Amino acid sequence: LAKTTQPISMDSYEGQEVNITCSHNNIATNDYITWYQQFPSQGPRFIIQGYKTKVTNEVASLFIPADRKSSTLSLPRVSLSDTAVYYCLVEGGRGFQKLVFGTGTRLLVSP
Amino acid sequence: GAVVSQHPSRVICKSGTSVKIECRSLDFQATTMFWYRQFPKQSLMLMATSNEGSKATYEQGVEKDKFLINHASLTLSTLTVTSAHPEDSSFYICSAPRAAGGGLGLETQYFGPGTRLLVL
């Protein structure tokens, strides 16, 4: 299972764009990248998933360079409710693989 | 989207008693579920993989006789903390994977809301 490295914490203000970068130097060919969001005393919630290039959904964008050794979660115009811990995970291909969580990035959005 | 529930949401028990936590996939079947433990300000730590119809697979350092896992059906896994002690107080979370669709064989993990256990 590829190990991931993220900043421990980030601060932002309402309305700003936030980019959280994750390093996964040992990512394997069949691995894909998933980001989860966790609020205090709640289970993690799926945000976005991708394999390469760019993926966008209604809440975020995920940028993955050609070498796939890193990925960047982009949150447009954050609000106070985006204050949470964000986890980047590399999932080992197919077959209901178990997840290994890293430290995550604690994002604090201020007014 | 898929929903995973946990029951109870929080429980307080006396030291030495056993506590059962249920994890249910509400609108899909899950032959595999995962159990995590999370201490305050820390990340999720995988405890075990629950397999329907067979024994659970425990991560290194997790006592299988203390944390009993039973995957009784395709929608239910239970975690029993036996002879609980204060150091077992934690936030327990389960997850169930579901195919993401699209023909790529990808999956998405759906997490339960968690169970807060406090052992006095």
**Cβ contacts of B31 within 8 Å, gap of 6 or more:** A96, B51, B52, B53, B74
Question: CB distance B105–A102 less than 8 Å?
Answer: no
By C-alpha distance, the chain A residue nearest B98 is A96
* Average pLDDT of chain B to the nearest whole number: 92
Q: Which sign, positive or negative, has the C-alpha torsion B78, B71, A92, A55?
A: negative
pLDDT at B102 (0 to 100): 59
- Determine the average pLDDT of the residues in B108-119: 94
Residue B107 has pLDDT above 80, yes or no: no
Alpha carbon distances (Å) from B93 to A47, A98, B43, B47: 18, 14, 11, 10
Write out residues 4-63 of A within 8 Å (CB-CB) of B. 32, 34, 36, 41-46, 49
Question: CB distance B93–A44 less than 8 Å?
Answer: yes
Distance CA B120, CA B87 (A): 10
Alpha carbon distances (Å) from B53 to B3, B109, B110: 22, 20, 21
Residue A102 has pLDDT above 90, yes or no: no
pLDDT at A2 (0 to 100): 61
pLDDT digits (tens, 9 = 90+) for B30-88: 999 999 999 999 999 999 999 998 899 999 999 999 999 999 899 999 999 999 999 99
Residue A87 has pLDDT above 60, yes or no: yes
Token pair, residue B85, equals 């002690």
* Terminal-residue alpha carbon distance, chain A: 38
pLDDT at B94 (0 to 100): 97
- Whether the CB of B112 is below 8 Å from some CB of chain A: the reply is yes
The residues facing B20 across adjacent strands are B80
User: What SS3 class is residue A94?
Assistant: coil
Residue A14 has pLDDT above 70, yes or no: yes
pLDDT at A17 (0 to 100): 97
More confident residue, B24 or A97: B24
Q: Å from B23 to nearest chain A CA?
A: 12
Contact yes or no for A90/A32 (Cβ under 8 A): yes
**Cβ contacts of A96 within 8 Å, gap of 6 or more:** B31, B32, B97, B107
Contact yes or no for B18/B80 (Cβ under 8 A): yes
Of A99, A102, A103, the CB nearest to B109: A99
Contact yes or no for B5/B110 (Cβ under 8 A): no
* Contact list, B58 vs chain A (CB under 8 Å): none
